[in-house]
A and B are shown apart, each in its own frame.
Chain A
Amino acid sequence: MTRLLAVAWKELVQLRRDRMTFGMMVGIPVMQLLLFGFAINNDVRHMPTLVYDQDQSAETRDFVQRLVVTGFYDVVGQVHDYDEIARAMREGKAHVAVVLPPRFGETLRSGKGAHAQLVVDGSDPQTVASATNTAVSLALTRSVELSMQSLSMRGQPLRPQPLSIEPTTWYNPELKTAIYVVPGLVGVILTMTMIMFTAMAVVRERERGTLEQLIVSPVGRVELVVGKILPYIGIGYIQMTLILLVGRLIFHVPLQGSLPLLYALASAFIAANLALGLFFSTVAQTQQQAMQMSFFWLLPNILLSGFMFPYEGMPPFAQGLATILPLTHFLRIVRGITLKGATFTEVQGEFVQLLIILGVLLVLTATRFSKKLG
């Protein structure tokens, strides 16, 4: 125990002297939080929109006005042919164009079906979805309104709409990206820092020759490993607290569930990442390699874990890969607890899977991390 604490104490003193690393441990979470929280927004609004109005009637002006009111389209100009639309899209000045054909108003007034065209820049799929969905549903609502009007004018009794759907979004009613992203960010940042710092802490000793000095000392393998990662567990919790706190203060991310439960379950996730970091340290020969491996690991985590793209949308192969990533399970736990107020029984399935991954990683690392040379 004395030896274990001596190793942990030494690690802390070294950490305190290394201003750069220390700054990164606080700087990375805060910077990422602000970047992801403010900059990333899947909810596309205010798309620059062109209007190609070949009718110039009251009806066309009314339709365009209704589009603008939704908040999704900002009219940035009027054009007079398709070439102009194409040019504006290539220049990136517009992503959407509304084309209203001649006699649009007249057709509408006569009660026949009038067609408007929506041209969307498909180079950004997210824009396409938002732009078309909004316009289509607007057209639909307007159609129903117009039908009702004509019916009532003919003196027919108004019947309620035969089928309607009332969408209700739970847990994040305003669909704020920050609320979705911040809890996930806890997992991403822990993945990054826990793996990188432990891997580098061990490799640094090997590079400087101090590892050999430790290997010939009576310090045991477990004392060495646990002593070295103990300070980093503390740092993991500090980072987690920092992210949740800043998320709360700046982005008003709620905490519906139990904070102690979250901290307790996070221990398995932190341990899994530390074990992985140690495993990397047995493979990497230099600190640079350790860092590269950490980043290499981070990329699939961000893409597959469900942090950025929904798990349900991935093909079965990618889903299989995602299941072996600790982050996938931790994301479900952290989102469940913070946003939905999940209890232990409701997330225990994910927790068990996390424990299985942790077990495999520990066995893997223990067999590779030997106290002998060569």
Chain B
Amino acid sequence: MSEASVIVADHLSRRFGALWAVRDVSLEVKRGEIFGVLGPNGAGKSTTIRMLCGILDPSGGKGTVVGYDVASQSERIKQNIGYMTQRFSLYEDLTVGENLRFYASIYGVPSRERKARIQEVLSSTGLDERRNQLAGTLSGGWKQRVALASSTIHRPPLLFLDEPTAGVDPVSRRQFWDQIHRISAEGTTVLVTTHYMDEAERCHRLAFIFRGELLATGTPMQIVEQRRLQVLELEAEPSLEAAARLRQLSGVEEVNHFGHVMRVALRDISNAEQLVRSTLSEAGIAVQRCDNVRPNVEDAFVSMVREDEALRSQAQSKAAA
């Protein structure tokens, strides 16, 4: 393990009965990174995090977190991490201040520093005025802030965030991500799971998990480039017929409607724009606009999921035959 790696997972696997929730996940997270783990619900993100935190034993593989083994040294890991789950789980019948005080004691913030540290966290997260409010009476966005403040009260070198922004409004989500970047700038490594693609683009590096398996890792840009996608924004009339024609073309992965505009994703095609224009004009469909746009992380992931599913169904039909 290199000095700079805070998390090293080596073929980490976890089985629940006959079902493999996580299978052969290998990844490395470097110090100071914001590392995003992406994937749809049930892909195995939470299971992976739980194994890395040491609260769930792996069925196979190895893992090292902040230099300690996940299976045998979980108690050492727990002293060096912060953990915040998708379900806001602080005490609703305690006030904001009491929650912070409780977690400060639990995480061993020395009693001399406790007061000052709580005050510092309250001010930096804008929670000062609400310190005497019961946590249960806060709105969703504020709850997330308290949860984040609590899980970082002991300045952990590593912070796990398991879908921290699920069900939070867009404005609060942005503010929350500003906080994550602030914490990261202070030197904390962050591992965050999400299924919001816009959040994925805010991470330094990403891992994409689907059906318990790791499909790709890299920076958002690398992940997009690896797919060799071309994306066109298209306005054509009649749009439904245009979409139907394009879907029949080989190389077209997806056609999606966004209001009047269609988004067409193609793969391994040399001149996509020309192909689309000629196909549609042959069919007598008028093209008002056809522009090349930059593919995003979402395009890349949808493409990967489709490929994965196609391979699976191929394998299945082979097995059946």
User: Which of A's residues lie within 8 Å of B, judged by CB?
Assistant: 2-3, 5-7, 9-10, 13-14, 17-18, 208-210, 212-220, 371-374
Q: Is B287 an interface residue (CB 8 A)?
A: no
The residue of chain A having its C-beta at the shortest distance from the C-beta of B95 within the complex is A13
Binds A, one of B74-82, B203-211, B216-224, B298-306: B74-82
Q: Is the CB of B105 within 8 A of A374?
A: no
C-alpha spacing A2/B110, complex, angstroms: 9
Chain A residue numbers with a CB within 8 Å of B54 are: 216
User: Which of B's residues lie within 8 Å of A, judged by CB?
Assistant: 16, 50, 53-57, 74-75, 78-79, 81, 83, 85, 87-94, 98, 102-103, 105-108, 111, 134
Closest 3 CB pairs between A and B?
A: A6-B105, A209-B89, A216-B83
A-B contact pairs, 25 of them (CB 8 A): A2-B108, A5-B105, A6-B106, A7-B106, A9-B102, A10-B91, A10-B94, A10-B98, A14-B91, A14-B93, A14-B94, A212-B55, A212-B85, A214-B106, A215-B55, A216-B81, A217-B78, A217-B103, A218-B108, A219-B106, A220-B75, A372-B57, A372-B74, A373-B55, A374-B16
The residue of chain B having its C-beta at the shortest distance from the C-beta of A219 within the complex is B106
- Cross-interface CB contact of B102 among A10, A212, A372, cutoff 8 Å: A10
The residue of chain B having its C-beta at the shortest distance from the C-beta of A217 within the complex is B106
The residue of chain A having its C-beta at the shortest distance from the C-beta of B57 within the complex is A372
With A3-B106, A6-B105, A10-B102 known to touch, is A17 a contact of B89 (CB < 8 Å)?
Answer: no
Chain A residue numbers with a CB within 8 Å of B134 are: 17
The residue of chain A having its C-beta at the shortest distance from the C-beta of B54 within the complex is A216
CB of B198 to closest CB in A, whole Å: 26
Chain B residue numbers with a CB within 8 Å of A17 are: 93-94, 134
A216-B53, A216-B54 are known; give 8 further A-B pairs, CB within 8 A.
A3-B105, A3-B106, A13-B94, A214-B106, A217-B78, A218-B78, A372-B57, A374-B16
- Cross-interface CB contact of A18 among B56, B93, B103, B106, cutoff 8 Å: B93
C-alpha spacing A373/B83, complex, angstroms: 15
C-alpha spacing A203/B275, complex, angstroms: 62
C-alpha spacing A5/B106, complex, angstroms: 9
C-alpha spacing A374/B57, complex, angstroms: 9
Q: Is the CB of A217 within 8 A of B107?
A: yes
C-alpha spacing A17/B99, complex, angstroms: 14
Chain A residue numbers with a CB within 8 Å of B111 are: 2
Chain A residue numbers with a CB within 8 Å of B56 are: 372-374
The residue of chain A having its C-beta at the shortest distance from the C-beta of B14 within the complex is A374
Q: Is the CB of B89 within 8 A of A208?
A: yes
C-alpha spacing A210/B87, complex, angstroms: 9
The residue of chain B having its C-beta at the shortest distance from the C-beta of A17 within the complex is B93
Q: Is the CB of B107 within 8 A of A218?
A: yes
Chain B residue numbers with a CB within 8 Å of A18 are: 93
The residue of chain A having its C-beta at the shortest distance from the C-beta of B92 within the complex is A208
C-alpha spacing A18/B134, complex, angstroms: 13
C-alpha spacing A371/B55, complex, angstroms: 7
The residue of chain A having its C-beta at the shortest distance from the C-beta of B16 within the complex is A374
Q: Is the CB of B107 within 8 A of A216?
A: no
CB of B71 to closest CB in A, whole Å: 11
C-alpha spacing A116/B57, complex, angstroms: 82
Q: Is the CB of A372 within 8 A of B55?
A: yes
Q: Is the CB of A209 within 8 A of B85?
A: yes
CB of A1 to closest CB in B, whole Å: 11
Q: Is the CB of A2 within 8 A of B105?
A: yes
Chain B residue numbers with a CB within 8 Å of A14 are: 91, 93-94
Q: Is the CB of B89 within 8 A of A210?
A: yes
C-alpha spacing A9/B106, complex, angstroms: 11
CB of B154 to closest CB in A, whole Å: 9
Chain A residue numbers with a CB within 8 Å of B105 are: 2-3, 5-6, 9
CB of A30 to closest CB in B, whole Å: 25
C-alpha spacing A214/B103, complex, angstroms: 9
C-alpha spacing A219/B75, complex, angstroms: 9
- Cross-interface CB contact of A212 among B57, B74, B89, B92, cutoff 8 Å: B89
CB of B66 to closest CB in A, whole Å: 13
C-alpha spacing A371/B57, complex, angstroms: 11
Q: Is the CB of A216 within 8 A of B78?
A: yes
- Cross-interface CB contact of A213 among B16, B50, B89, B98, cutoff 8 Å: B89
The residue of chain B having its C-beta at the shortest distance from the C-beta of A6 within the complex is B105
With A216-B78, A216-B81 known to touch, is A210 a contact of B106 (CB < 8 Å)?
Answer: no
With A18-B93, A212-B55, A373-B56 known to touch, is A218 a contact of B106 (CB < 8 Å)?
Answer: yes
C-alpha spacing A348/B283, complex, angstroms: 99
C-alpha spacing A2/B109, complex, angstroms: 10
Q: Is the CB of A218 within 8 A of B79?
A: yes
Chain A residue numbers with a CB within 8 Å of B102 are: 6, 9-10
CB of A277 to closest CB in B, whole Å: 20
Chain A residue numbers with a CB within 8 Å of B53 are: 216
CB of A244 to closest CB in B, whole Å: 32
- Cross-interface CB contact of B91 among A210, A220, A374, cutoff 8 Å: A210
Chain B residue numbers with a CB within 8 Å of A371 are: 55
The residue of chain A having its C-beta at the shortest distance from the C-beta of B110 within the complex is A2
The residue of chain B having its C-beta at the shortest distance from the C-beta of A213 within the complex is B89
CB of A7 to closest CB in B, whole Å: 8
C-alpha spacing A213/B57, complex, angstroms: 17
CB of B157 to closest CB in A, whole Å: 14
